[in-house]
Amino acid sequence: MSTNNTNDQENTALPRNKKIDDAYAAYVAEQNNMRIRSDAKSLVFVVIASVIMAANINYFINQGGLLPGGANGVAILLQRVADKFLGVEIPFSVLSLSINALPAYLAFKTVGKKFTAYSCICIVLMSFMTDLIPAPKVPVTNDRLLLSVFGGIINGGAISMVLNSGASSGGSDFVAMYFSVKKGISTWNYVLMFNAVIILISGCIFGMDGALYTIIFQFCQTQMLNTFYKKYYKKTVFIITDKPDPVAEQIMSVTHHSATVFKAEGAYTHKDHYVVYTILSADEMHQIRRCIRNVDAKAFINVINSENVFGNFFIKPVG
């Protein structure tokens, strides 16, 4: 009797696994067909963000005596030191490309080729545009606090645009992305702490006023990153549905995450329902919500923030 039950379970499981495999294959085929359009869209956003960051350096960062942190911050600091103590004006592009060379090579080896290629486009374009875009003849504002706040918001928004396009602005971003991929955590607050070293050096040389305003700038930048770049944030999802198998198949085929199905009973109607439980990355929520609605328009979806997830949680690799 036990042998027959086992065979029945195996025979029942096979069709369902085949459905999942077929659904995932269809999803992969669809993604491959959309790859060229997606790459073109990403490239456009990378170019736009690069120009924004270059303009932000000339219109906000340099005007306010601020530092953006990371490789760009080091490049600007070296520019100012050379100008003050040596009387030499070094182009930003020369310093930026030199500093980013080694991190870009490491990212190419460890993080992803497409990611590194897009990042290099961003770095090169931003570096040369910073030298080409002229400094404003009339300052945007003479208030350093406003320059710090809005400069940080603009810079954080531009970097978020680059990261969501599958690229990076280079330097410490390469390092942050490396640890995010390896550890599956958001590292931008740690980047903020790392940049404190650059701020302290700048404060000792050029005065602490600029260093304190830079802290405000980088805090605003970090908050923008934490708000708009959510790849490594986790969401726990509960879906009450009468179509558990199609819903679970959509989750597995689209996100490559598994799901657990519970049988439940409505307390008011006493009708049988099912609860599909899964954990997804925050950036997958919009897509999977649309897919679930296509399968079951009446599904009830509850999303909860997850602080920590332990176990074999799939993280989509960087391209």
pLDDT in tens, 31-83: 566 677 778 888 999 999 999 999 999 999 999 999 988 889 999 999 999 99
Rounded to whole angstroms, the Cα distance separating 153 from 194 reads 19
Question: Could you tell me the sign of the dihedral formed by the alpha carbons of 104, 107, 108, 114, in that order?
Answer: negative
Report pLDDT for 13.
46
Element (H, E) at 192: helix 188-206
Can you give the residue ranges of every domain in the chain? Answer: 35-228, 233-319
Report pLDDT for 11.
46
State which CATH number among 3.40.47.10, 3.30.70.120, 3.40.50.10330, 3.40.50.300 fits the domain covering 233-319. Answer: 3.30.70.120
Chain position carrying tokens 């999802």:
237
Report pLDDT for 8.
47
Report pLDDT for 41.
87
Report pLDDT for 151.
96
Rounded to whole angstroms, the Cα distance separating 216 from 125 reads 27
Report, as ranges of residue numbers, the positions in the chain whose pLDDT lies below 50.
Answer: 1-3, 5-14
Report pLDDT for 19.
62
Report pLDDT for 129.
96
In 10 A of CB 14, how many CB atoms?
Answer: 10
Q: What is the pTM of this model?
A: 0.72
Burial class (CB in 10 A: 0-12, 13-18, 19+), 122: buried
Q: Are 53 and 126 in contact (CB under 8 A)?
A: yes
DSSP percent split of the chain into helix, strand, coil, nearest 5: 70, 10, 20
